[in-house]
Amino acid sequence: MGNTQAWPVLRSTDLDEALTLAERLLSVASWYDPEGCYLDAWAHDDAQLRRLTESAPTANVRWYGAPGDGPRASVSQPAPTVAQAGDALKTWAGITRCYLLWHDMKWPAVPELGLGEEYKYAELQVACNSHTIHCEEWAPEHTVFIHARPGHDERAAWLAAEVGAQVVGPPEFGW
């Protein structure tokens, strides 16, 4: 067992820019399963929940806490293609804070850094309207995160450099 560490590699108000960077990072992955992607959002009130479920009638809804205790429901749905993921993310980002996560993937080996292929901790995330992976607080930007094994700062920097980006902030503990 263990948790990922997540390095931000882009903060931008342009969601298309964030999705383009995510797609470029997916092309660096040594493998990923397009079906291993899902969209997740918090509904903070009934109006947000209604708008989220109207835009995705087959989404899974999980209820949390009592009314007034913060997020009322988590809404999630699979997003099997990058295009579908982007379209759904754009819709949901107009409603609330949300994120898109690719979790069934592998980061390639980087022999010059002494790093083997990584599967267990390899994930890629676009967090909308937030600077954190859990989308706790609203922000005007969208953030792209590379998830990897804790302590693998070199891998995150290498992956970002492969697509013309760089790490733009300190890592945070992942899932």
pLDDT tens per residue, range 60-90: 999 887 666 665 789 999 998 888 889 999 9
Is residue 18 situated within a structural domain? yes
Q: What is the extent of the structural domain holding 162?
A: 5-41+76-169
Per-residue pLDDT reduced to its tens digit, 104-120:
999 999 999 999 999 99
Counted domains in the chain: 1
Question: In this structure, which amino acid lies at residue 97?
Answer: R
pLDDT category at 92 given cuts 50, 70, 90 is: very high
Q: Is the pTM of this model over 0.75?
A: yes
The secondary structure element, H or E, covering residue 15 is helix 15-28
Range 136-140 contact pairs with CB under 8 angstroms and sequence separation of 24 or more: 138/97, 139/11, 140/13
- Domain annotation covers residue 67: no
